Amino acid sequence: MKLLSTLIIAGTVATGTAQTAPGRHESLKQEIRQAIARGNAWLKTQQKPDGHWDDDGLPAFTALALTAATRDPGLDRKAPLPEHIEKGFTWMLAQQKHDGGIYNRGLTVYNTATAVTALVSSEQSKFEPAIVKARKHLIDQQWDIDKKKETDNPNDGGIGYGSKNDREWASDDAKNKGGFIYGPNETKAGEEKLPDGRTALRSYG
């Protein structure tokens, strides 16, 4: 009984101390909050008049900006969404197709998944129907190789980007198309000697 009382008292004191004493690294936390706020303020200036960001063919860009905005610790969750954020969501939802995907120029999985992340981050119940439709689209894109409805292939259940990379900088080399390296000087796929004698990093993926 004495031990229980001691633990209760200790817990109460610890809680009180935690509530009154300044948190550890508070200065760093404030700097991070301010950096996030400045970043989101800059993003706001980059929004297009109709509500999207950067490339309207890839809603994922808009979704990334909206995710950053809705995850800002300075955002008042109890108040209506700021006008520019609401405008961004309105534009993004207008890109949702009959199959539930949120995309325009291919890459349906990437764009839809990124859009769902933004919608969920907003914590707006009004977006739930759109989220459910988009989730169904993502599920429909999962791979079922070989025998259908059987997990008989190591890649079953996986998922790709949903299309192809049609960006102008995409490699036309079949060995590298769609892959990546970990950094300018590191890859998990080994190296390759080029005809001119240089050493190149092989694409992983």
Q: Report the share of the chain in percent with pLDDT over 90.
A: 53
Is residue 42 located within the same domain as residue 113?
A: yes
Residue 181, in any domain of the structure: yes
- Work out the average pLDDT over 132-136: 97
Query: CA 112, CA 109: separation in Å to the nearest integer?
Result: 5
Q: Among 10-24, 76-90, 137-151, 180-194, whose mean pLDDT is lowest?
A: 10-24
Q: Which amino acid is at 186?
A: E
Is residue 158 located within the same domain as residue 180?
A: no
- Tens digits of residue pLDDT in 38-58: 999 999 999 999 999 999 999
Q: What is the Cβ-side half-sphere exposure of residue 204, based on CA atoms within 13 angstroms? A: 11
Would you call 193 helix, strand, or coil by DSSP? strand
pTM equals 0.67
Is residue 54 located within the same domain as residue 147?
A: yes
Number of domains in the chain: 2
Q: What is the residue range of 187's domain? A: 171-205
Query: CA 112, CA 122: separation in Å to the nearest integer?
Result: 15
Is residue 113 located within the same domain as residue 61?
A: yes
Is residue 75 located within the same domain as residue 95?
A: yes
Give the pLDDT band of residue 98 (cuts 50, 70, 90): very high
Residues 6+ apart with CB under 8 A from 77: 123
Residue 12, in any domain of the structure: no
Residue 109, in any domain of the structure: yes
- Enumerate the β-bridge partners of residue 186: 183
- Tens digits of residue pLDDT in 145-159: 777 766 766 665 666
Does residue 12 have a pLDDT over 50?
no
Is residue 154 located within the same domain as residue 199?
A: no
Does residue 15 have a pLDDT over 60?
no
- Work out the average pLDDT over 22-48: 93
Q: For position 34, which CATH number holds?
A: 1.50.10.20
By C-alpha distance, which of 122, 91, 87, 89 is closest to 104?
91
Is residue 191 located within the same domain as residue 137?
A: no
Is residue 161 located within the same domain as residue 175?
A: no
Residue 110's pLDDT is 94
Does residue 1 have a pLDDT over 80?
no
